[in-house]
Amino acid sequence: MVIVIAVAIGVVLAVLFFAGVFNSSGSGAVPNGTPSAFSSAVAVAATEGQSAPGGPWTIVAGDGIGIPNGITQPNWEFVGSSGCTFTPVPSGSSQVTILGTPSSATPGQVATWIFFERNATQQAILLAAVSNGQAEPLILVSGCSTVSDFASMDAVSATADADSTSVAATFDTLGGSTFSTSHPGATQEFIIIGGTATTPGAWEVTYSTCSLTTTGGAGSWLSGYFYASNGNVLTGPTSGSGNC
């Protein structure tokens, strides 16, 4: 079951990489944002993120990204190596920005969340970002089998799932705090996916010395899985090191 969940979470990350969100950093300083927990960010996405065409949209996964220095990436329209077609939302920005998260942030609160939303036809996935209390639709993903992976997921929400701050608190008692102390400025990710007919919804928490835009070099990380519904430990955390 854990392997299946890990694969599903890998799909979340793969879409972000294929879409180009993590592929390069733009020029100029990107400011820090106001950190928010999953419960706050997903509520914003649910109420403000419905302006994209093709909705209504149901949130089935999310990725909270905590980095010390923000990055920006062109919001391009292209067909990635996955075979998926990525089309920027007409009303969206020409840039995808992931704001920096201040070091003083409460564990589990980050400056940018990216949510994955399916529509009623289940033929497209919407990526929408939430930063500083505002939601912005970014990219529509269609034309590939990846869409069906998200279509099979249940909704995630502030009322049905444990908050990221609760999961982070547990993770930190199991080694996260030690990792953060040893590696100031480490990248933090809080990924939640909805359950399916055969697997429960889950959180994956990862602290890593690898930058989101790193394409080489070595790093270390600590990662654990938790039940989305109550935040209890599913497996781990486990540590590792190797190529980023």
Q: 156-170 pLDDT, tens per residue? A: 999 999 999 999 999
* 49 pLDDT above the threshold of 50: yes
Please choose, from the candidates 156, 233, 169, the residue with its C-alpha nearest in 3D space to the C-alpha of residue 201.
Answer: 156
pLDDT of 195 over the 50 cut: yes
Q: Give residues with Cβ within 8 angstroms of 12, minimum separation 6.
A: 61, 63, 116, 191, 193
For helices 164-171 and 38-48, what crossing angle results, to 10°? 150
Give the pLDDT of residue 28: 52
- ∠ at Cα 69 (67, 75), nearest 5°? 85
Strands 134-142 and 85-88 turn out to be antiparallel
Q: Report the chain's terminal Cα–Cα distance, integer Å.
A: 26
Tell me what pLDDT residue 216 has: 67
Q: Which stretch of 27-31, 167-171, 194-198 has the lowest confidence by average pLDDT?
A: 27-31
Q: Is the pLDDT of residue 26 over 60?
A: no
Question: Where are the strands (E) in 105-152, listed by range?
Answer: 112-119, 124-131, 134-142
At 90, is the pLDDT very low, low, confident or very high (cuts 50, 70, 90)?
confident
| CA angle (121 as vertex; 115, 124 as ends), nearest 5 | 40
pTM for this structure? Answer: 0.91
Contact criterion met (CB below 8 Å) for 92 and 153: no
pLDDT above 70 for 123:
yes
